[in-house]
Amino acid sequence: MTQTKDTVLLIYPALFKITGLPIGIASLSAVLGGSGYQVKVFDTAFYALSDKQDWDELRADRLMSKRIVNEEQYWKVKTADVKKDLIESISECKPKIVGISISEPNYEISLMLTRLIKQHFEEVIIIAGGVFPTLSPEIVIEESSIDIVCLGEGETALLELCNRISNDKDYHNIEGLWVKYKGKVHKNSPGILHNINDLPNPDFSVFDEGLFYKPMQGKLYKMINIETSRGCPYNCTYCSSPKLKEFFLRNRGGNYYRSMNMGKIIEQIYYQIDEHSPEFIYFSSETFLAMNKKDFAMFVEEYKKIRIPFWFQTRFETITEERVKALKEVGMFWLTLGVEHGNEEFRKNILKRTCSNKSILEGISILNKYNVGASLNSMIGLPFENRELIFETIKLNKKLFEIDNKLEFNISMFVPFRGCELYDSCKQNGLLPDKAYSAVSDLSDESVLNFSKEYKQGLKGLMKTFNLYVKLPEKYYPRIKIAERSDEEGTAMFKYLSRFLQEGTF
Ligand code: B12
Ligand code: SF4
């Protein structure tokens, strides 16, 4: 039996009510726990930290999805001050090390928390990891409240750090970490790329119950995530995944995109079902169906015995009738797919997505035939786009709605994340604001790009009315144009037209 060692506190600075289990933290927790450390998690998902509306209300207001009916049963919004709670939590568990997982949209919240910790517990060592510290370590290491930055995967590096600190050993030279030590920053080489089949099953027991519950068709269900791969084989310009691939290829000569053995996936499913009794399973993969024929057949065969409804994210290119039919029979309930743009040339040249409109339309026809619903993601506010091009996105989504009226249409304002190819072209083309900006998440309807005031206002109106344009007949377009406005007439018209959709009377 492993002896219990120090406590490590891991912080998940989730945006308000963005639930779902973060595999990164769960995997770190499993590795540390397996070596005898006590792991505690502090998450911010239920603290209203800004005046922004919550994600699900916003989606419902923009007519993207149904309002959640059973929210109060499972999500407990915290009324206490997050700062007070964090200080209390650290005073109780007395960690020597606090780790925080950072993506660019939650960098601001993260700094608020790390600064608070340093102010009250100077001796605690703070280590930051995640996609933002990996792709922008030089920004994160500048922050005085952060002592160590983890570049890449943290399982081995964090364990090594904990072991050295527990044993009072020097820790400045650990692979995978940039360490501030005795007045100097030691930039060690990036950490190893793990064989994901050798890692322990993610430890979800460290999370509060509320994080397990995610909305599906207007209701919260208990969901667990099953990791089936890490990284993605594709190269979209607005996404961090290709940059992580480049990062590991350059630094470790390895491929960040790794699929897990089907045997290990199945073992994980049974383990997590036994531990957590979920109502739904989310297969956490950037492109779930990018699996080979043999693995697919094995998955379907085994899942016949499980049959818990599941959903996942994939690409249109990976959808075939044979696969949809087989998956539907064993419990596939929902998919998330990226349409991203309606103009094929734009999608191919600017976003590096080569899928044709024809295969998008065919994919939805197949899903509709087998009665499988889907959320379709599109973006507006992209560089080199204009109102006319945005209407091509509306037009394509409209055609999809005509095939299947249970589809959900998510619309996001483009956000240039640092490190992505499209961030660089925004920079080269003078589209980024001069002062360092903080990438807001795609929950925002304000574009951060240097567009004219009028164009930005227009984008805001299109974010609001996107679903009206997609779902209402074209004879309503002059009225929807009025609804784009934020003045009294526009607001009243938006309300009036929204009722048609909510009641299905058009
Ligand atoms: C699954 C997923 C989610 C899940 C879970 C989130 C999570 N943090 O795990 C959900 C659905 C909740 C989610 C939500 C969002 N996501 Co998301 N998500 C992903 C996705 C597809 C995979 C993440 C994953 O599980 N990877 C596998 C695990 C094992 O890797 P990992 O998380 O990177 O963790 C490893 C290392 O980074 C490191 N590490 C991580 N944390 C720490 C901490 C310490 C102390 C150490 C030492 C190491 C360490 O070690 C881990 C183990 O190896 C990524 C894409 C990607 N490739 O990263 C986008 C991504 C992270 N998401 C992104 C965004 C924008 C969002 C949202 C804002 C979207 C939205 N509007 O809803 C929200 C905000 C989330 C929040 N924190 O509030 C962006 C972030 C962009 C950026 N450059 O920062 C990404 C990169 C996708 C993209 N567009 O490029 N997301
Ligand atoms: S398919 Fe999805 S995860 Fe893969 S590179 Fe494109 S946007 Fe990123």
pLDDT score, position 441: 62
pLDDT score, position 440: 64
183 and 232 co-located in one domain: no
3-state secondary structure of 142: coil
Q: Kindly report, residue by residue over 189-239, the tens digit of the pLDDT.
A: 998 999 999 999 999 999 999 999 999 999 999 999 999 999 999 999 999
Residue 481 lies in a domain: no
Task: Verify whether ligand 1 is closer than 6 Å to residue 131 (CB atom).
Answer: yes
Residue 207 lies in a domain: no
pLDDT score, position 348: 97
Task: Verify whether ligand 1 is closer than 6 Å to residue 147 (CB atom).
Answer: no
| Structure-model confidence comparison of residues 5 and 200, the more confident one | 200
Task: Verify whether ligand 1 is closer than 6 Å to residue 63 (CB atom).
Answer: no
Pocket of ligand 2 (CB under 6 A): 232, 234-236, 239, 241-242, 286-287, 315, 338
17 and 124 co-located in one domain: yes
Q: Which residue has the CA at smallest separation from atom 46 of ligand 1?
A: 129
Residue 468 lies in a domain: no
Final residue before a domain boundary, out of 399, 432, 465: 432
pLDDT score, position 2: 55
Average pLDDT, integer, range 328-344: 97
CA distance 40 to 207: 8
- From 230, 234, 245, the mutation candidate for ligand 2 (largest count of ligand atoms within 8 A of CB) is 234
147 and 289 co-located in one domain: no
- Does position 1 have pLDDT exceeding 70, yes or no? no
Average pLDDT of the chain to the nearest whole number: 94
Q: Kindly report, residue by residue over 383-427, the tens digit of the pLDDT.
A: 999 999 999 999 999 999 999 999 999 999 999 999 899 999 999
Supply the pTM of this predicted model.
Answer: 0.96
- Does position 329 have pLDDT exceeding 80, yes or no? yes
- CB atoms under 10 Å from CB of 430, counted, come to 10
Query: How many A from CA of 129 to the centre of ligand 1?
Result: 10
Residue 462 lies in a domain: no
181 and 257 co-located in one domain: no
CA distance 370 to 187: 53
Q: Kindly report, residue by residue over 420-478, the tens digit of the pLDDT.
A: 999 999 999 999 987 666 666 656 788 999 999 999 999 999 999 999 999 999 999 99
Indicate which ligand has the atom closest to the C-alpha of 337. Answer: 2
pLDDT band at 66 (very low <50, low <70, confident <90, very high): confident
Query: How many A from CA of 256 to the centre of ligand 1?
Result: 14
Query: How many A from CA of 234 to the centre of ligand 2?
Result: 6
Kindly list the distances between the CA atom of residue 51 and the CA atoms of 15, 16, 316, in Å, as whole numbers in the listed order. 12, 10, 37
Task: Verify whether ligand 1 is closer than 6 Å to residue 498 (CB atom).
Answer: no
Task: Verify whether ligand 1 is closer than 6 Å to residue 417 (CB atom).
Answer: yes
Residue 192 lies in a domain: no
pLDDT score, position 327: 98
pLDDT band at 502 (very low <50, low <70, confident <90, very high): confident
Q: What is the number of structural domains in the chain?
A: 2
CA distance 211 to 204: 10
Average pLDDT, integer, range 68-97: 95
- From 131, 229, 235, 236, the mutation candidate for ligand 2 (largest count of ligand atoms within 8 A of CB) is 236
- Does position 480 have pLDDT exceeding 80, yes or no? yes
CA distance 262 to 353: 28
Query: How many A from CA of 270 to the centre of ligand 2?
Result: 28
Query: How many A from CA of 25 to the centre of ligand 1?
Result: 10
Q: What is the CATH number of the domain that holds 356?
A: 3.20.20.70
% pLDDT > 90, the chain: 89
pLDDT band at 52 (very low <50, low <70, confident <90, very high): low
Contact between residue 217 and residue 245 where contact means Cβ atoms under 8 Å apart = no
Task: Verify whether ligand 1 is closer than 6 Å to residue 41 (CB atom).
Answer: no
pLDDT score, position 442: 58
pLDDT band at 269 (very low <50, low <70, confident <90, very high): very high
3-state secondary structure of 479: helix
401 and 300 co-located in one domain: yes
381 and 235 co-located in one domain: yes
Query: How many A from CA of 243 to the centre of ligand 2?
Result: 11
pLDDT score, position 49: 82
What is the domain extent for residue 264? 228-432
Backbone angles phi, psi at 220, to 5 degrees: -85, 140
Residue 500 lies in a domain: no
CA distance 235 to 488: 43
Q: Computed from CA positions of residues 172, 177, 179, 184, in that sequence, does the dihedral angle turn out positive or negative?
A: positive
pLDDT score, position 436: 62
235 and 374 co-located in one domain: yes
Average pLDDT, integer, range 90-114: 96
Q: Which residue has the CA at smallest separation from atom 8 of ligand 2?
A: 239
Task: Verify whether ligand 1 is closer than 6 Å to residue 18 (CB atom).
Answer: yes
pLDDT score, position 60: 85
Contact between residue 221 and residue 280 where contact means Cβ atoms under 8 Å apart = yes
Contact between residue 323 and residue 365 where contact means Cβ atoms under 8 Å apart = no
pLDDT score, position 444: 79
pLDDT score, position 271: 98
Residue 306 lies in a domain: yes
pLDDT band at 503 (very low <50, low <70, confident <90, very high): confident
CA distance 296 to 312: 14
Q: What is the CATH number of the domain that holds 32?
A: 3.40.50.280
Residue 219 lies in a domain: no
32 and 116 co-located in one domain: yes
- Does position 4 have pLDDT exceeding 90, yes or no? no
- Does position 51 have pLDDT exceeding 90, yes or no? no
Q: Which residues of 329-364 are buried (b: 16+ CB within 10 A; e: fewer)?
A: ebbbbbbbbbbbbbbbebbeebbbbebebeebebbb
232 and 183 co-located in one domain: no
130 and 233 co-located in one domain: no
Query: How many A from CA of 103 to the centre of ligand 1?
Result: 6
Final residue before a domain boundary, out of 171, 187, 203: 187
318 and 176 co-located in one domain: no
pLDDT score, position 48: 87
pLDDT score, position 189: 94
Assigned token pair, 441: 């998440």
235 and 179 co-located in one domain: no
pLDDT band at 57 (very low <50, low <70, confident <90, very high): confident
